[in-house]
Amino acid sequence: MCEYDAKGTRRKEIVHDFDMLSDVVLRDGWLTAQDVDGRRVLSLPVRDPSAVAALREAFAPTRA
C-alpha cells in the first residue's frame, strides 16, 4: 500500500530502533544505515543543510 502527500509524492514510513542500527553514515549528500546484521535498511538523499545538521547532532557520540 502506498501513501501520498498533498503534492502527490509517494511517501513511506519506516520504523527501526536506533539500538538495532550498527552503522549510520552521512556522506556525499546521502544518509545510509545498516542493521546489526549488516543489511542496508535505509539510503536516502539529504540535501537540506538544516536536516544535515540535525542528523549529525542526532547521531553524534554522546559525551560523558
Does the pLDDT value for residue 63 go beyond 70? no
Instruction: Write out pLDDT tens, residues 22-62.
Output: 888 999 999 999 988 899 988 889 999 999 999 889 888 77
Question: Measuring CA to CA, which residue among 36, 35, 38, 28 is closest to residue 14?
Answer: 35
pTM: 0.63
